[in-house]
Structure 1
């Protein structure tokens, strides 16, 4: 095994999200989420798959925590299903849903595993969507109501909180590209959604501070290294615009209390941005305790004037290996990204809250899953993290994505990211070779 030199207090964990693993989509008083609605509509998800059962973690969480313990995990990052807590999005609390997460947290602590909770991983209550969803500014206050309840009920036991997972995906992939719930193709709506998600983040951080809890709160962004395909002026400018769209649209408000200039001017010329109120940027700019980043690949950009408002396209690089998602394996991008974050944005601790790859995993005749490509992926990216730490970046932890194979959104069950193999028919769990490698690394 490759030798690593991480700080003694470095946290090794694995991550999941509620809709992808829990199942029990309508059990014990849970309300409908936008992903329940979206996945049940024909043509939205490959093979008509839904998260109705997923990995059945709702009923098997004790078995799953025993596996986490076997993997030597320091921490487990999971998300809470908002409609499991508030079936209507706000108002009446569903006690059975709350009890599930309380039991989950207690079981984790009993196993010596620190819980890290993500408040929003894309499963908005459908009832709120019908009131306008994240386009409706009122949703930011519903989010505070939901977060405050969880802080009150779990804040004494849970020391690590993440407001949102990948707001870029929730806003743009869901409302502009239409590939995720709620499946809209409206850039104007997506910009408003992005703003309100960021506003809700700021309001919840503020609420957490007011409650004077003993813990930390931050946010998780999906970030990429962005490279122009050539050094031509047009390709460089195109890459700069993609940098603002993919990375800075969320980094800048959090750390600089403003939106990036080029893209902001472009959006102003094309859309009505009156939903941005005076004082909003100060709310979004609340001081956070850490930044979570999800890194999978880099983006290589080429100018393309035929392409709508953005004038560029993504280029697939030949030469490096690619994952089952078609994403280039590029660990140097993680190192470069971490260096840039420290130089330009923050000295706060950074957690790699997701990193991993989809592979075509099969169980062999001996009941083993040999996923050497995933081991290579983790090994090279952890080397990039180690290099970044040596260069002075305060990376405090690393969460493998994902703990187990699960419902991979619009790809259904066709893409496997897990350390643990899940047979989706029988729900049997098998530790892959990567899980055994990770266990040994942590040890």
Structure 2
């Protein structure tokens, strides 16, 4: 019976693969079949419009004054002009029909490949007794005041935690506060705050082998998201104090400075240094980017990742485990936090043509994606500006980035939303093999182990 069910499932997979290929072919051919030569010309116009929009966005970021204004107008006008061309030709329906067919092709292709490739990882959970003397640091300004909105202090104290409310009007060394709590007998350290604060306290917890509690009260909560925590209601994170399990996750370091998400060098590392960045991120970026992107200011960077060298990128991002790049719905997420690998993204764009290639090419030359255990970032200046989990730092060059595998014990609620299931990367070659297969699958199933 099990064999029959398996055969039916693989039969559905084969038909899903065939459906994906058919839908993709129809999406590509529909403009030609419906419009003939006119459809072919309009398709070329659509591709040119995308390239022009990418080039215009490059000019927006790398120029000032009237050129920036004109480029912004062009970036907005190009897609409108393309849509108008299709509408005038009576082929606007073709655009929507092609988009629907592409969506069908992607959905069917992912269904077909779901069990023939690497399956998503679920981190192993360790059952440990609840902490007896938990210590929590809460930042009242984090996330626009979530600490007060969700009564985190009161709820944590009701669960037996010792809570320190950070004073927003004066600087406090959270590392020293955490170490003092450990010396006083704390058996768990936790933070409600931004990722930068999380990293500092996490390093103390890892140093002493204590569990660490993440309370998703920050603005973006990238680390909490990749741990599968509830970002809408941070008070649910406190359930870990009474009904929790532990995960073993990695911790990144730039020299001796910890990070839970990433260390950014180059463009972003310089932008976060701007005095007005916290109040106006877009304005601060537009003010600094022209000189940074055209290399009128900032260091000339070189990154070496386990023997691979990347020369002269404008931006380098080193992440604690690699980010997903192949899934638009999971873009910026990390499928694992315990692989023992740093992710490396390096970007080099020196012209509008290269900006268009970045958007249109499946493998743009200006984008380098690597994984490594050790990354060295060098520059032609004595010090490098770094954005470490969004915090502005200056570190002496070269900066050595490394990863401490499974060094951090993170205590999370037993019941939590979880990390959304990762979708398999569309591999059209494998889809063709699967569609033509007469056996069970086109490739053996493999599962990652943690």
TM class by shorter chain equals under 0.3
- Larger % of strand: which? 2
Give the structure, 1 or 2, with the largest relative contact order (CA under 8 Å, sep 6 or more). 2
Q: Give the TM-score of the pair, scaled to structure 2.
A: 0.22
Query: Normalised by the size of structure 1, how large is the TM-score?
Result: 0.22
| Greater Rg over alpha carbons, structure | 2
